[in-house]
């Protein structure tokens, strides 16, 4: 993969990090991914390896024990990891979003309390907005926290927590009914610390078992049930209630760059598999890559990989430069995830019948790609964000 998905103007440090991660992916992830995925087994050894490489603290500032790297470095690392196995990037993604939210919005005490232990991977983050009755419509959250002296009491049910069981810190968005007219101004993020595991993990806090999924296996996805769960008022992210929606949207915005990066990683792998297979498989007396119909598929796939990579890099660089990237991150996520679904399907078709066999990696990629159309906001929600941003920018003066 010398030619595709290259990134201009990387520093020596960035190049070194990426080459270390790439060789870790080739040696420690790709050879084991199929077996672990088919067994739906948690990739503990791989996670331990990532801890050793410092990946859990990649974007955490150096003063808190992290590597202090940029969103771009992070996104390129995620692209490499997803090329090996998307579930592994899922293990670090929610952790990264929560660390980012604490870094951006936490009180000084919260930063000191969590960030050093998050940098080592000792504390592992998950984030929770979705509920059984809502995902896109975040402002409609029903789980409710009621103030009681120095504490809040939380009741309600959350849904679809990536790393719900393996995490020890869940940034959770709930209603606090502050009397604001706009529903989203009544939402507050709580930093819920809990032991890892399933069942009733603390009084009033239950993590039922793993949700059985089509793909994205290995990584645990769970519900979270609050039943009279009492939590200190000092666990409100940033100290003040009512800011949760904006904090979460900031987190999800960097998460979108991350999902775009994952889509790029899967697409790169799907292309690699297709270009190799197309030169080995012969029909009608020649390798199928020499049939123009297949060669053109490869050209299309590579062009999609390249376009998605460039948009993802652009969105990450804008955020790193302190500029708004809501529209660009939405575009990158939309394009990269839609292209990923197309590129994996094209690769699958090039594999003929073998693509349908569990012995071939493309079978797994086919089950992973659809999640990217949904996570961190569906394609419809990205189009809503993009069009809203553009209509503001290009609005007619009346």
Ligand X SMILES: Cc1cc2nc3c(=O)[nH]c(=O)nc-3n(C[C@H](O)[C@H](O)[C@H](O)COP(=O)(O)OP(=O)(O)OC[C@H]3O[C@@H](n4cnc5c(N)ncnc54)[C@H](O)[C@@H]3O)c2cc1C
Catalytic residues: 376
Strand, helix or coil for residue 224: strand
Closest separation in Å from C-beta 170 to ligand X: 9
Based on the shown chain and the rule CB under 6 A, indicate whether residue 42 belongs to the binding site for ligand X: no
Closest CB 214 distance from ligand X, rounded Å = 9
- The helix-helix angle for 326-350 and 361-372 (nearest 10°) equals 150
Shortest Å distance, C-beta 121 to ligand X: 18
Contact between 357 and ligand X by CB under 6 A: the answer reads: no
Q: Confirm or reject binding of residue 168 to ligand X (CB under 6 A).
A: no
* Rounded-to-integer distance, Cα 335 and Cα 306, Å: 11
Q: Is position 14 an interface residue for ligand X (rule: CB under 6 A)? A: no
Distance CA 226, CA 203 (A): 9
CB 219 → ligand X: shortest distance, Å? Answer: 8
Q: Which residue has the tokens 């809503």?
A: 384
Q: Which is nearer to ligand X, 230 or 367 (CB)?
A: 367
Work out whether 216 is an interface residue with ligand X (CB under 6 A). Answer: yes
Could you tell me if 194 and 202 are in contact, meaning their C-beta atoms sit under 8 angstroms apart? yes
Who contacts 83 (Cβ-Cβ below 8 Å, separation ≥6)?
25, 265, 266, 268, 269, 272
380 touches ligand X by CB under 6 A: yes
- Is 26 an interacting residue with respect to ligand X (CB under 6 A)? no
- Nearer to ligand X by Cβ, of 155 and 320: the residue is 155
Interface with ligand X: number of residues (CB under 6 A): 21
Taking contact as CB under 6 A, which single stretch among the options 226-234, 282-290, 326-334, 378-386 is the one that binds ligand X?
378-386
The reply to whether 213 sits near ligand X by the rule CB under 6 A is yes
Applying CB under 6 A, does 130 fall inside the site for ligand X? Answer: yes
CB of 239 to ligand X, least distance (A): 23
**Cα separation of 251 and 232, whole Å?**
23
Q: Could you tell me the two tokens for 221?
A: 């996805």
Contact call for residue 360 and ligand X (CB under 6 A): no
Asked whether position 378 contacts ligand X by CB under 6 A, the answer is: yes
Binding range to ligand X, per CB under 6 A, among 16-24, 77-85, 98-106, 160-168: 160-168
Distances (CA, A) of 218 to 2, 81, 155, 351: 30, 14, 29, 25
Q: Kind and range of the H or E element at 37?
A: helix 30-38
Q: In DSSP terms, which residues pair with 171 in a beta bridge?
A: 127, 191
Using the rule CB under 6 A, which residue among 100, 152, 339, 371 binds ligand X?
371
Window 79-98: contact mask with ligand X (x via CB under 6 A): ---------------x----
Complex with ligand X: residue 306 or 338, whichever CB lies closer: 338
Quote the tokens at residue 318.
């804008």
Q: How many CB atoms lie within 10 A of CB 364?
A: 22
Per CB under 6 A, which region of 6-14, 75-83, 354-362, 375-383 contacts ligand X?
375-383
Q: Which stretch binds ligand X (CB under 6 A): 2-10, 253-261, 351-359, 374-382?
A: 374-382
CA geometry: angle 75, 80, 86, nearest 5 deg: 90
Q: Any idea of the CA torsion for 75, 111, 200, 93, to the nearest 10 degrees?
A: 0
Which of residues 18 and 134 has its CB atom nearest to ligand X in the complex?
A: 134
Residues 6+ apart with CB under 8 A from 276: none
Per CB under 6 A, the list member of 73, 162, 168, 382 interacting with ligand X is 162
Segment 110 to 129, residues that bind ligand X, using CB under 6 A: 127-129
Binding to ligand X by residue 387, rule CB under 6 A?
no
Helix axes 71-84 and 292-320, enclosed angle (nearest 10): 150
Name residue, tokens 């990891």. 81
The answer to whether 178 and 203 are in contact (CB under 8 A) is no
Q: Is 244 in the site for ligand X (CB under 6 A)?
A: no
Please report, as ranges, the residues that interact with ligand X according to CB under 6 A: 94, 127-130, 134-136, 160-162, 213, 216, 221, 371, 374-375, 377-378, 380-381
């Amino acid at each position: 993969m010398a030619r595709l998905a290259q990134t201009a103007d990387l520093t020596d440090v960035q190049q070194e990090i990426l080459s270390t991660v790439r060789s870790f992916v080739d040696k420690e992830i790709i050879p084991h991914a199929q077996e672990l995925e088919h067994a739906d087994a948690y990739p503990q050894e791989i996670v331990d390896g990532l801890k050793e490489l410092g990946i859990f603290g990649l974007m955490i500032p150096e003063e808190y024990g992290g590597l202090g790297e940029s969103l771009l470095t992070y996104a390129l690392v995620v692209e490499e990891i997803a090329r090996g196995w998307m579930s592994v990037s899922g293990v670090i993604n929610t952790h990264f979003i929560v660390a980012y939210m604490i870094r951006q919005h936490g009180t000084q005490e919260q930063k000191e309390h969590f960030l050093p232990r998050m940098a080592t991977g000792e504390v592992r983050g998950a984030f929770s907005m979705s509920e059984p009755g809502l995902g896109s419509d975040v402002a409609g959250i029903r789980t409710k926290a009621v103030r009681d002296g120095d504490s809040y009491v939380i009741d309600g049910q959350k849904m679809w927590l990536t790393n719900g069981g393996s995490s020890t810190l869940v940034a959770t968005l709930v209603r606090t009914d502050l009397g604001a007219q706009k529903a989203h101004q009544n939402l507050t993020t709580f930093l819920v610390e809990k032991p890892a595991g399933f069942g009733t993990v603390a009084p009033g806090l239950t993590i039922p078992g793993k949700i059985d999924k089509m793909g994205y296996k290995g990584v645990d996805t769970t519900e979270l049930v609050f039943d009279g769960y009492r939590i200190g008022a000092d666990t409100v992210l940033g100290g003040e209630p009512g800011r949760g929606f904006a904090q979460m949207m900031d987190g999800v915005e960097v998460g979108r760059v991350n999902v775009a990066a994952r889509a790029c990683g899967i697409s790169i792998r799907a292309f690699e598999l297709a270009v190799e297979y197309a030169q080995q498989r012969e029909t009608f007396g020649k390798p199928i890559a020499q049939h123009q119909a297949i060669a053109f598929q490869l050209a299309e796939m590579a062009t999609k990989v390249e376009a998605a990579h460039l948009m993802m890099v652009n969105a990450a660089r804008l955020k790193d430069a302190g500029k708004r990237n809501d529209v660009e991150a939405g575009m990158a996520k939309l394009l990269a995830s839609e292209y990923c679904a197309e590129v994996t399907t094209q690769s699958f078709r090039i594999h003929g019948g073998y693509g349908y066999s569990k012995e071939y990696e493309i079978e797994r990629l086919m089950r992973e790609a659809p999640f990217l159309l949904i996570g961190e906001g569906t394609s419809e929600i990205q189009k809503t964000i993009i069009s809203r941003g553009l209509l503001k920018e290009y609005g007619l003066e009346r």
